[in-house]
Amino acid sequence: MIFKQEFLDKLKSAKRLVFFTGAGISAESGIATFRGKDGIWNKMKPEELANFNAFMQNPDLVWEWYQHRREIVHKTEPNPGHFAIAGLEKYYDVTVVTQNIDNLHRRAGSKKIYELHGNIERNFCVECKQYYDLSDLDKTEGVPHCKKCGGLIRPDVVWFGEFLPQEELNGGETSAKQSDICFVAGTSAVVYPAAYIPMNAKRAGSYIVEINIEPTDLTNYADYSIFGKSGEIIPLILKEAEKLKSS
């Protein structure tokens, strides 16, 4: 793969990289994306499941859906795309700003991560906000109840119509605006306010590099679009960085 010279020049001079990632970066780990042909949303509608009212109306169904997704996540491994992002920390100040809730960036070794939409491994009580790790929850069928107050326990993920955690959103936005290169990998960039981040980074002067298997809403915004699988492209970018940073 030959990269554009303008990009290679940026890669050589850059100090701070941001990787803004979505479900596509975990596709090669075997986790279905949301809007692709086999995407989860095709079978289930987000409004049916990934929102608070659906949970309060049918907590067992929504809880079981997340348990099903956790089982998938626990069976998967980070892929070369996740590992290459962690590997770039050897040459750059790298920040990951992810919409994913699968914890794969952390498992791949990335140090600085902002999780805009939460993390499927964490849960909390809707009444008293007590946090629970999965290991703290007894393996009963259906939604567990809080040991302190009896309230329903929910996954610590951001549902539609819910605010994103302020410090994650601000941290992610600031890092992207201050980055020399903001990579946008594996996202359809249709979910807001997360999708504002790469746009604001561009306005702040960051060089936007999109990595996706097809064009998205962001493609016209990007300074450079690299079409291909993130698990193949990002390791090649790491190889280029190794050459550029050691010459």
- Cα-Cα end-to-end distance for the chain: 20
Nearest-angstrom CA–CA distance, 35 and 32 = 9
Q: How far is the CB of 82 from ligand BV8 (least distance, A)?
A: 12
Which stretch, 87-95, 127-135, 144-152, 154-162, contacts ligand BV8 (CB under 6 A)? Answer: 154-162
Nearest-angstrom CA–CA distance, 243 and 111 = 23
Measured in whole angstroms, the distance separating CA 222 from the mean position of its chain's CA atoms is: 19
Which stretch, 20-28, 134-142, 146-154, 172-180, contacts ligand BV8 (CB under 6 A)? Answer: 20-28
Q: Considering beta carbons, is residue 4 or 148 the nearer one to Zn ion?
A: 148
Which residues 137-156 are close enough to bind Zn ion by CB under 5 A? 146, 148-149, 151
32 contacts which partner out of ligand BV8, Zn ion, none, CB within 5 to 8 A by kind? none
Q: How far is the CB of 216 from ligand BV8 (least distance, A)?
A: 5
Assess 24 for contact with ligand BV8 (CB under 6 A): yes
Number of residues that bind ligand BV8 (CB under 6 A): 37
User: Whose CA is closest to 108, among 173, 174, 28, 35?
Assistant: 28
Phi, psi of 171 (to 5 degrees): -60, -45
Q: Which of 68, 74, 105, 117 is catalytic?
A: 117
> CB of 12 within 8 A of CB of 25?
no
Which residues 178-217 are close enough to bind ligand BV8 by CB under 6 A? 186-188, 190-193, 211-214, 216
145 catalytic residue (yes or no): no
Q: Which helix (H) or strand (E) holds 167?
A: helix 166-178
